[in-house]
């Protein structure tokens, strides 16, 4: 009887408790209990019912059938069966981070956009980087375009700059977007290759689409295999408009310039990174932010008027073309800082919805036909992926400014408009009548005057498909040009049909004859084809643009880069400490690689913890390496294939190699003879040598070693 009364008392206490209308975040509030002396939340169902046993389903007896009344099991398995949403058709594999945009100065003379009005204003931001062709489970270092999408939570609504790390695109009209993506994705009959364009369908489409040739030069360059999200540029791709308070329009192209400089890997290295760490780019960004090394980009604007647009050699509405920075300089107007990782990948990175149509007063579209198509497509795809027109109710997509509208109901409506009226116009006054439009503050489209017949045509101003492709190729250093040729040979070598390979060579002849000959030789094409028919002849008077080269835009710094240090028992502690101090002073990262992940005992008896076991931390994961084994340790490493690969790959990938004399036998075993020890090898025999080594590492690669086309 006493037990029954006590139970009734507890029930009464709970039923009379007061609850707020505010949702309590999962894991916060509620009852707690003691586990190992610490307060821990009590596990509950989604309805808040405490759970007594989360290990076993409810049965009749110990070996009897499971009961249908087990609501906890039913709810748990029900949610599990439905917890996946459709992945993005493109840009499926992505990684995001939070940060802010800080404006440098007022831009009121060219735009009324609120975030550009005051110097020092900070606007919250979320950025998602991605690859295009692969699925969510593909690897990071695919040769591919990288998405660079920025959501700015301005005081006048969300503005999405949905761009890439390459400033041009494959096609000129959105009508061809489904065909492009279908061709690039896995071939439909066999379901492979995944996250690769090295197959017949892609190159068949490309070889029949001359407008893609400029983009092909970009994706065959090292731009398509970046070292890190932190070391790549971003571009808005399209031409947009900025509108000031007087209604004046200025054309603009958006650029994100990394303050860390540009850097890529080489192809042989990329393939090995994918095997060693398929999450290489994700891990790099996560680690950098967690360690306080917040990556930054500066927002650059290329500004030009109608007069320039009319006189420019190419059409500013053509997404397959750039405006060289030498013609229209990039003005840096603010900085983007990423300083916080997501709390939950699915809730934020996976559910974030970017739409090119999301602009704010002071920003407007141009007539770029690819942009116009994207404006339709992006909104449409959110309904498919997120299941409801209410995707802005998801916190990552919700504006951070006040918002009011009459849109209501639908799946997952978290907050319907309050009040009596749910239509407009209405005659109700005050709050009962709801929000009203504001001609003064509201968004107004630029009143461009358009005229002409309805036609399915392509403008003649879009017809030059080869000149800028040639300009891009000529803007690269010798090393980068060799990489483009090698990439084309590799990709086309995977194409089974000879006529597709030959057709691509015919296009290359319109870009650069020497490049075409290199590719034909690499493919063993028996008979050189004629150059492809060109709608317009290739111009050879376009000056090279140094801004298009990665190697001409590297910053000489090792800050934010990673040094892999191979050590064994008996490592010279004085040398190790000197190198560690030099790395720290540079602002770089030092990863310790050892025969066992537990660590090693140094020459003075000190125990050094390791970050990676030798076969789990290959040299492809690092920007430079230091080889510091003891004599006995080097002899032992000679027997390890992973150790030999560590050294051989670092050499083949033109990395700077710091070493101690004791490592010489391992070098020889790895195939590096005394005559091969070039200027990229620096002996570390003390503090001064350690500092010198890190200073030299600022050059990132010893490209002089690549005298035979990269030894791939």
Q: Is the dihedral of CA 690, 691, 695, 698 positive or negative?
A: positive
Residue 288: which H helix or E strand, with range?
Answer: helix 280-290
Give the integer Cα–Cα distance in Å for 533 and 507. Answer: 8
Average pLDDT over residues 518-529: 97
State pLDDT tens for residues 440-491. 889 999 999 999 999 999 999 999 999 999 999 999 999 999 999 999 999 9
Up-side HSE of residue 15: CA atoms within 13 Å toward CB?
Answer: 6
Residues 6 or more apart in contact with residue 564 via CB below 8 angstroms: 591, 593, 612, 617, 619, 621, 622, 624, 625, 626, 646
> Which residue range is the domain that position 258 belongs to?
94-166+231-397
Distance spanning both ends of the chain, measured CA to CA: 83
Average pLDDT over residues 396-419: 89
Given the DSSP bridges, would you call strands 32-35 and 600-601 parallel, antiparallel or unpaired? unpaired
Helices of type H across 33-105: 71-81
In a domain, 271, yes or no: yes
Average pLDDT over residues 143-154: 98
Percent of the chain with pLDDT over 90: 85
Average pLDDT over residues 328-337: 98
Q: Which of 112, 159, 124 is nearest to 361 (CA)?
A: 112
In a domain, 589, yes or no: yes
Q: Which of 160, 161, 152, 162 is nearest to 401 (CA)?
A: 152
Q: What tokens appear for 320 in the block?
A: 């397959």
Are the beta carbons of 270 and 225 closer than 8 angstroms? Answer: yes
Residues 354 and 408 placed together within one structural domain of the fold = no
Are the beta carbons of 297 and 257 closer than 8 angstroms? Answer: yes
pLDDT of residue 3: 39
Determine if residue 678 is left, alpha or beta; phi over 0 gives left, psi from -120 to 50 gives alpha, anything else beta.
beta
Q: Is 425 helix (H, G, I), strand (E, B) or coil?
A: coil
pLDDT of residue 26: 63
Strand-pairing partners, residue 97, are: 127, 341
Residues 115 and 249 placed together within one structural domain of the fold = yes
Task: Count other C-beta atoms under 10 Å from residue 210's C-beta.
Answer: 20
pLDDT of residue 131: 98
Residues 601 and 651 placed together within one structural domain of the fold = yes
Residues 637 and 613 placed together within one structural domain of the fold = yes
Are the beta carbons of 228 and 285 closer than 8 angstroms? Answer: yes
Q: How far is CA 495 from the centre of its chain?
A: 28
Angle, helix 513-523 to helix 498-511, in steps of 10 degrees? 160
Q: What tokens appear for 381 in the block?
A: 């795809």
Give the integer Cα–Cα distance in Å for 446 and 111. Answer: 12
Give the integer Cα–Cα distance in Å for 564 and 624. Answer: 6
Give the integer Cα–Cα distance in Å for 195 and 137. Answer: 10
Length of the chain as a residue count: 712
- Longest pairwise C-alpha distance within the chain: 100
Are the beta carbons of 520 and 528 closer than 8 angstroms? Answer: yes
Give the integer Cα–Cα distance in Å for 298 and 509. Answer: 37
Is it the case that residue 710 has pLDDT exceeding 50?
Answer: no
Mean pLDDT of the chain: 93
Helices of type H across 147-221: 177-184, 200-207, 213-219
What's the CA angle centered on 367, arms 471 and 370, to 5 degrees? 65
Catalytic residues: 91, 164
**Domain end position, chosen among 351, 375, 397:** 397
Are the beta carbons of 267 and 490 closer than 8 angstroms? Answer: yes
Q: pLDDT band at 40, cuts 50/70/90?
A: confident
Q: pLDDT band at 39, cuts 50/70/90?
A: confident
Q: Identify the DSSP state of 256.
A: E
In a domain, 255, yes or no: yes
Q: Tell me which residue has tokens 């840009």.
A: 91
In a domain, 173, yes or no: no
CATH number of the CATH domain containing 626: 3.40.50.880
Residues 321 and 411 placed together within one structural domain of the fold = no
**Domain end position, chosen among 369, 397, 425:** 397
Are the beta carbons of 162 and 354 closer than 8 angstroms? Answer: yes
Q: What tokens appear for 284 in the block?
A: 């790099």
Determine if residue 39 is left, alpha or beta; phi over 0 gives left, psi from -120 to 50 gives alpha, anything else beta.
beta
Q: pLDDT band at 707, cuts 50/70/90?
A: low
Give the integer Cα–Cα distance in Å for 57 and 65. Answer: 10
Q: Which of 291, 367, 413, 335 is nearest to 152 (CA)?
A: 335
State pLDDT tens for residues 282-310. 999 999 999 999 999 999 999 999 999 99
Residues 335 and 423 placed together within one structural domain of the fold = no
pLDDT of residue 418: 84
Domain total in the chain:
3
In a domain, 149, yes or no: yes
CATH number of the CATH domain containing 305: 2.40.180.10
Give the integer Cα–Cα distance in Å for 423 and 508. Answer: 59
Q: What tokens appear for 188 in the block?
A: 């439909």
In a domain, 267, yes or no: yes
Residues 6 or more apart in contact with residue 429 via CB below 8 angstroms: none
**Domain end position, chosen among 371, 397, 423:** 397
Residues 408 and 325 placed together within one structural domain of the fold = no
Q: Is 159 helix (H, G, I), strand (E, B) or coil?
A: strand
Give the integer Cα–Cα distance in Å for 590 and 561. Answer: 9
Are the beta carbons of 484 and 337 closer than 8 angstroms? Answer: no
Are the beta carbons of 280 and 140 closer than 8 angstroms? Answer: yes
State pLDDT tens for residues 532-554. 999 999 999 999 999 999 999 99
Q: Identify the DSSP state of 42.
A: P
- Reduced DSSP (H G I as helix, E B as strand, rest coil) percent helix, strand, coil of the chain, to 5: 35, 15, 50
Give the integer Cα–Cα distance in Å for 708 and 419. Answer: 74
In a domain, 332, yes or no: yes
pLDDT of residue 28: 62
| Sheet strands side by side (includes 657-659) | 612-613, 589-594, 562-566, 624-627, 657-659, 681-683
pLDDT of residue 4: 41
In a domain, 178, yes or no: no
Give the integer Cα–Cα distance in Å for 68 and 45. Answer: 16
State pLDDT tens for residues 576-597. 999 999 999 999 999 999 999 9
**pLDDT: is 222 or 421 the higher one?**
222
Residues 416 and 293 placed together within one structural domain of the fold = no
Task: Count other C-beta atoms under 10 Å from residue 382's C-beta.
Answer: 19
Is it the case that residue 41 has pLDDT exceeding 60?
Answer: yes
Is it the case that residue 12 has pLDDT exceeding 50?
Answer: no
Q: Tell me which residue has tokens 């000959």.
A: 517
The model's pTM is 0.92
Residues 391 and 243 placed together within one structural domain of the fold = yes
Residues 158 and 249 placed together within one structural domain of the fold = yes
Are the beta carbons of 289 and 339 closer than 8 angstroms? Answer: yes
pLDDT of residue 89: 94
Give the integer Cα–Cα distance in Å for 517 and 509. Answer: 8
Angle, helix 200-207 to helix 498-511, in steps of 10 degrees? 40
Are the beta carbons of 140 and 93 closer than 8 angstroms? Answer: yes
Residue 308: which H helix or E strand, with range?
Answer: helix 306-311
Cα dihedral value 441, 442, 443, 448, nearest 10: -80
Residues 280 and 413 placed together within one structural domain of the fold = no
Determine which of 15-29, 143-157, 287-301 has the lowest per-residue pLDDT on average: 15-29
Q: Identify the DSSP state of 259.
A: T
Residues 423 and 354 placed together within one structural domain of the fold = no
Burial of 574 (0-12, 13-18, 19+ CB in 10 A): middle
Is it the case that residue 644 has pLDDT exceeding 90?
Answer: yes
Average pLDDT over residues 423-449: 89
Q: Which of 407, 367, 361, 362 is nearest to 388 (CA)?
A: 407
State pLDDT tens for residues 694-705. 999 999 999 999
């Amino acid at each position: 009887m006493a037990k029954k009364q006590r139970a009734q008392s507890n029930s009464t206490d709970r039923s009379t408790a007061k609850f707020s209308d505010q949702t309590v975040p999962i894991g916060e509030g509620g009852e707690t209990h003691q586990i190992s002396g610490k307060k821990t939340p009590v596990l509950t169902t989604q309805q808040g019912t405490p759970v007594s046993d989360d290990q076993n389903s409810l049965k009749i007896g110990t070996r009897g059938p499971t009961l249908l009344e087990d609501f906890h099991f039913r709810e748990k398995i029900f949610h599990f069966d439905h917890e996946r949403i459709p992945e993005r058709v493109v840009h499926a594999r992505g990684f995001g981070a939070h940060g802010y945009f800080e404006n440098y100065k007022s831009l009121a003379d060219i735009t009324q956009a609120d975030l550009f009005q005051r110097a020092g204003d900070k606007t919250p931001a979320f950025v998602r980087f991605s690859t295009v062709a692969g699925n969510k489970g593909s690897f990071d270092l695919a040769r591919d375009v990288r998405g660079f999408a920025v959501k700015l939570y301005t005081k006048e609504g969300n503005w999405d700059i949905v761009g890439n790390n390459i400033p041009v695109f494959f096609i000129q009209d959105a009508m061809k977007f489904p065909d492009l993506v279908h061709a690039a994705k896995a071939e439909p009959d066999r379901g492979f290759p995944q996250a690769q364009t090295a197959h017949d369908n892609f190159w068949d489409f490309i070889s029949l689409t001359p407008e893609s040739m400029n983009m092909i030069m970009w994706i065959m360059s090292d731009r398509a295999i970046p070292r890190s999200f932190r070391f790549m540029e971003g571009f808005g791709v399209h031409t947009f408009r900025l509108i000031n308070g007087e209604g004046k329009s200025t054309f603009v192209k958006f650029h994100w310039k990394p303050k860390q400089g540009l850097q890529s890997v080489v192809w042989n290295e990329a393939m090995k990174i994918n095997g060693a760490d398929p999450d290489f780019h994700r891990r790099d960004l996560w680690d950098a932010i967690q360690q306080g090394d917040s990556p930054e980009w500066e927002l650059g604007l290329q500004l030009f008027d109608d007069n320039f647009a009319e006189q420019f050699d190419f059409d500013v509405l053509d997404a397959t073309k750039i405006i060289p920075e030498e013609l229209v300089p990039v003005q840096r107007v603010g900085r983007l800082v990423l300083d916080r990782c997501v709390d939950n990948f699915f809730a934020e990175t996976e559910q974030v919805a970017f739409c090119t149509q999301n602009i704010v007063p002071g920003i407007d579209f141009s007539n770029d036909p690819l942009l116009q198509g994207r404006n339709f497509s992006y909104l449409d795809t959110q309904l498919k992926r997120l299941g409801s027109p209410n995707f802005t109710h998801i916190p990552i997509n919700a504006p951070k400014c006040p918002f009011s509208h009459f849109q209501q109901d639908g799946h997952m409506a978290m907050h319907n408009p309050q009040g009596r009226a749910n239509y407009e116009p209405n005659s109700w006054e005050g709050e009962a009548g709801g929000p009203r439009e504001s001609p003064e503050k509201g968004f107004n489209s630029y009143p461009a005057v358009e005229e002409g017949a309805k036609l399915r045509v392509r403008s003649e101003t879009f017809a030059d498909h080869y000149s800028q492709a040639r300009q891009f190729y000529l803007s690269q250093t010798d090393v980068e040009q060799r990489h483009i040729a090698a990439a084309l040979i590799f990709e086309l070598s995977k194409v089974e049909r000879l006529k597709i390979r030959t057709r691509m060579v015919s296009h290359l002849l319109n870009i650069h004859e020497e490049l075409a000959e290199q590719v034909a030789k690499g493919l063993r094409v028996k008979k050189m084809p004629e150059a492809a028919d060109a709608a317009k002849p290739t111009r050879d008077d376009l000056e090279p643009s140094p801004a298009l080269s990665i190697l001409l835009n590297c910053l000489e710094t090792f800050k934010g880069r990673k040094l892999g240090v191979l050590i064994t028992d008996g490592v010279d502690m004085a040398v190790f400490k000197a190198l560690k101090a030099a790395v720290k002073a540079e602002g770089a990262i030092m990863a310790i690689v050892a025969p066992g992940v537990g660590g090693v005992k140094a020459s003075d008896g000190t125990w050094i913890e390791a970050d990676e076991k030798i076969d789990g931390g290959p040299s492809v994961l690092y920007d430079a390496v230091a080889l510091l084994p003891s004599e006995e340790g080097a002899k032992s490493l000679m027997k390890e294939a992973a150790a030999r690969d560590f050294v051989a790959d670092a050499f083949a990938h033109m990395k700077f190699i710091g070493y101690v004399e004791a490592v010489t036998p391992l070098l020889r075993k790895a195939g590096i003879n005394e005559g091969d020890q070039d200027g990229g090898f620096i002996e570390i025999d003390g503090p001064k040598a350690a500092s010198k080594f890190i200073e030299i590492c600022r050059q990132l690669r010893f490209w002089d070693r690549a005298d035979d086309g990269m030894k791939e």
